[in-house]
Amino acid sequence: IDLGPTAPVEREIEAWRAALELARPTGDAPARLRKTVWTPLEKHIAGAKVVLVSPDGPLGRLPFAALPGRKAGATLLE
């Protein structure tokens, strides 16, 4: 699935990681990251029980299980 140009994806990953390092994973950085990286995939994996991810580029530094979940404060793994 093509997520578009690399630069915007990398910016969102860096903003999210910076928020985590400051122990402030709240705000809009988690929601923006989810919208940029996960939301485009959802329609392709609807109903799947297991999703295998093979990231490339800046996505390789992203722990997908720790992506923000649908509910505030939740992670994708939850």
Per-residue pLDDT of the chain (78 residues; tens, 9 = 90+): 888 899 999 999 998 888 888 766 557 888 888 899 999 999 999 999 898 988 888 999 888 888 888 887 788 887
Q: What pTM was computed for the model?
A: 0.77
Helix, strand, or coil (residue 40): helix
* 56-61-64 Cα angle (round to 5): 85
